[in-house]
Chains A and B, each alone.
Chain A
Amino acid sequence: MIRFSEEQAMLLDTAREFCQKRAPIDVVRQAIQAGQPLDATLWQTMVDLGWLGVTIPETYGGLGLDLADTVPIFEAMGRQLLATPMLASTLATQVLITNGSDEQKAQWLPKIATGQIATLALTEANGSWESDQITTQLNQSAAGAMTLTGSKAFVLDAGVADVILVSALQDDALRWCLVDASDLPDGAIQREVVIDETRRSYSLAFSDLPIRADQVLPGTSFKKIELAAMLLITAEMSGGLEGVLAVIVDYLNTRKQFDRLIGSYQAMKHPTVDILMGAEMTRSYLYHAATVWRDETDDVAVESAVRMAKCCASEQFSEAGDRGIQFHGGFGFTYECDAQLFLRRALWGQYQFGDERHQRQKLAGLLF
């Protein structure tokens, strides 16, 4: 069953129009060339649209809607390869909403709703992110003073973030720590080179960083945050899939060889139909997962729906990107061809929070 709310339908329309206008492909390319600086005007417009506060409760200056209601926005951004700190900020927001104290929420949520940037440091330097594999330590001295030690990777937008939510182990329990970016020593935040050049990705190194008690979140919900990340990345991938399909169809309808449009060859046409089917299925799984996320209270149902969607998106988008290169012939091998932007975006999404094999492994346990 899929339900689609009025709010979602409205956001979908607005977001599509906005992203199309603000992020045509040449703008995306210019940003890559410039090293992906934060576009402050664009960011402010998104803040003004209320997008950063969609899930923030009204008492803290947001709209008080469900995370599922942001899915259309992320899908629209993915369609145009627009990468803003909204993904990081929205996920960090979920950590605060589900795990933060009233004081922590009151301190940060209104700021995030008005454009301060928050991010999430979940993945360890070795690439693991699951709750039983966190190695970053929150240590406590005999006198009670706490410090944070460890290294994190794939932290989105850390270079422009005001606050970072870090997962860490305290004895054997998992905790969330709020780290003010300005408290980090020089060199603690390093830009990473990742395959998707539209991303601002960073590594973080903490070495005995002092942590006050009020920086530790009382809640320890973890799974739901991991699933939220999968849901939003799936939304971006669903949009990206639509984007790469458009690039392929366009080329198949313009490029001629042997005096015929190459789209007339079934060796091109039939796999392109497969990509269409993959895109339709991904989108269906996405909105199914969004529905279940909002309406369902059963944890297994939510986890299964999200993992199925992430699994489908990972497989289908990376395949579509791969074929997108091949179908452009020699041009597909160039930096100038847009297919590479989508393939590299697909690979980033595929490997963040579990590719299709990882998801299937988890699903086997959930389903059978």
Chain B
Amino acid sequence: MNENEISEFRSDVRAWLQDNKPAAPSFLLPETFMEVGTDQQFEFLRRWQQTVYEAGYLGMSWPEAYGGGGQPQVMQDIVNQEMAAQRVPFVPNTIGLNWAGPLILEMGTEADKQRYIKNILSAEDIWCQGFSEPDHGSDLGNAQVRAVKDGDEYVINGSKIWTSLGSYAKYMILIARTSNEGPNKYAGLSFFLAPMTADGITPTPIKKLTGEYGFCQTYFTDARIPADCMLGNEGEGWSVAMKTLMFERGAVGGQAGGLSMMDLNINDIVELARRATRNGRPAIEDPLTRDELVKLVLEAKGHVVMGSRARIPALGGTYPTAVAMSGKLRGTELKRKMTRFALSLQGANGARFISEAALDGGKWQRSYLNAFSGTIGGGTSQIQKNILGERVLGLPKS
């Protein structure tokens, strides 16, 4: 696409979003797919995803044969940017759209693609991820949920935990142990596209630190799933899981796109600093607060310019993968810092929580507590630092 076509497309998208953006509901919407806690929230967001997909603004670069748009990636990128800029709600089927979907497109059979891709885009089938277990989170390679082959089925036993969207999902990307043999803990793992509808699979909601719901513990009790649900071969689960995490952390492309969380922009924090008061005056007038705000603006802006430099290979430097590999760490830590700072702008009112008396109904307090979903989920910040130290800098394993 040339510059003219791009800017024309951008303004079309913008106009469509402005015309079709749903009116704010009477209830507080969640800000990320990991926070969907009520049926009301879920139905609202699912309808929004359907609308976006039907307008042709989701999966634009995925093959037409499976329900995608068959268009260049740049168009989806523009849609994503405009969705963030126009502050529309996010699309909830993130695990399907951005992790499971690209994975299936890359390594699924023709039948898998026909069966799953279109319904991922339309939000007909919601997907969840069964990786973490109560005793094995960061140490995912030690996962112990058992999958035992019995004829043309696998029988699953054990439990997965922190399953986002677990109560709404029709399918789960599941990593389970098919064998205890092999040279290391990774060798016995296999990867499944498991139907949540099978008997013996019970997602049980867990209350989050905010007091709301958002994820589940998923119990498997002699649950039987068809053997052809396996993606890749038996014993290859670890490498499939790693591939999934590359999609999840945004280290490689191929995602369907769409916002998976509400964009929190540093300008929102600056604007809040003008509105919120400390000691009876706008927080932004307090010299110490101002300095802290400049620091935060610099960090946020730094995040943006890093992305911009990453697009220029000649400026890659000694560690060309550093910027892409660190995006998850930087983005989620920045969000945590911004939301935490947002509370400090409110003086004594920083101590309020979701209620009418709180500034913006307590949105900032909720956002801060929820920000840990980013710094813990998908591999904690500490694990990200291990990865960067070892794979980018080449330091020895811990």
The answer to whether B302 touches A285 (Cβ under 8 A) is yes
Number of interface residues of A (CB under 8 A): 40
A335 at the interface (CB under 8 A from B): no
Q: How far is the CA of A93 from the CA of B122 in the complex (A)?
A: 62
CB distance from B114 to the nearest CB of A (A): 41
Q: Report whether over half of chain B's contact residues are helix, strand or loop; otherwise say mixed.
A: helix
Contacts of A272 in B (CB 8 A): 389, 393, 395
Q: How far is the CA of A277 from the CA of B302 in the complex (A)?
A: 10
CB distance from A104 to the nearest CB of B (A): 36
Q: Report whether over half of chain A's contact residues are helix, strand or loop; otherwise say mixed.
A: helix
The answer to whether A264 touches B315 (Cβ under 8 A) is no
B interface footprint on A228-245 (CB within 8 Å = 1, 0 otherwise): 000000000000001001
The answer to whether B295 touches A284 (Cβ under 8 A) is no
The answer to whether A284 touches B395 (Cβ under 8 A) is no
Which of B290, B302, B393 is within 8 Å of A312, CB to CB? Answer: B302
Contacts of B284 in A (CB 8 A): 368
Q: How far is the CA of A66 from the CA of B254 in the complex (A)?
A: 39
Q: How far is the CA of A261 from the CA of B389 in the complex (A)?
A: 13
CB distance from B244 to the nearest CB of A (A): 23
CB distance from B272 to the nearest CB of A (A): 12
Q: How far is the CA of A1 from the CA of B394 in the complex (A)?
A: 30
B281 at the interface (CB under 8 A from A): no
Q: How far is the CA of A277 from the CA of B317 in the complex (A)?
A: 13
Given contacts A273-B389, A363-B294, is CB(A264)–CB(B397) below 8 Å? yes
Which of A277, A284, A311 is within 8 Å of B308, CB to CB? Answer: A284
CB distance from B385 to the nearest CB of A (A): 5
Tell me the number of A-to-B contacts counted with CB atoms below 8 Å: 121
B306 at the interface (CB under 8 A from A): yes
Contacts of A25 in B (CB 8 A): none
Contacts of A260 in B (CB 8 A): 396
A280 at the interface (CB under 8 A from B): yes
Given contacts A1-B308, A288-B308, is CB(A364)–CB(B294) below 8 Å? yes
A85 at the interface (CB under 8 A from B): no
Q: How far is the CA of A242 from the CA of B312 in the complex (A)?
A: 18
Contacts of A2 in B (CB 8 A): 305, 308-309, 311-312, 315
The answer to whether B322 touches A276 (Cβ under 8 A) is yes
Q: How far is the CA of A280 from the CA of B320 in the complex (A)?
A: 10
Contacts of A277 in B (CB 8 A): 322, 326, 329-330
The answer to whether A4 touches B314 (Cβ under 8 A) is yes
A22 at the interface (CB under 8 A from B): no
A106 at the interface (CB under 8 A from B): no
Given contacts A4-B315, A367-B297, is CB(A284)–CB(B305) below 8 Å? yes
The answer to whether A368 touches B309 (Cβ under 8 A) is no
Which of A9, A281, A360 is within 8 Å of B295, CB to CB? Answer: A360
The answer to whether A311 touches B290 (Cβ under 8 A) is no
CB distance from A94 to the nearest CB of B (A): 24
A interface footprint on B46-81 (CB within 8 Å = 1, 0 otherwise): 000000000000000000000000000000000000
B382 at the interface (CB under 8 A from A): yes
The answer to whether B385 touches A269 (Cβ under 8 A) is yes
Contacts of B306 in A (CB 8 A): 280-281, 284
Given contacts A284-B308, A288-B309, A312-B302, is CB(A364)–CB(B330) below 8 Å? no
Stretch at the interface among A54-62, A116-124, A152-160, A246-254: A246-254
Residue of B at shortest CB range from A308?
A: B298
B392 at the interface (CB under 8 A from A): yes
Q: How far is the CA of A312 from the CA of B305 in the complex (A)?
A: 12
Q: Within A269-293, which residues are at the interface with B (CB < 8 Å)? A: 269-270, 272-273, 276-277, 280-281, 283-285, 287-288
A-B complex: 10 closest residue pairs judged by Cβ atoms: A263-B395, A269-B389, A284-B305, A284-B309, A264-B396, A281-B302, A288-B305, A284-B306, A261-B396, A360-B294
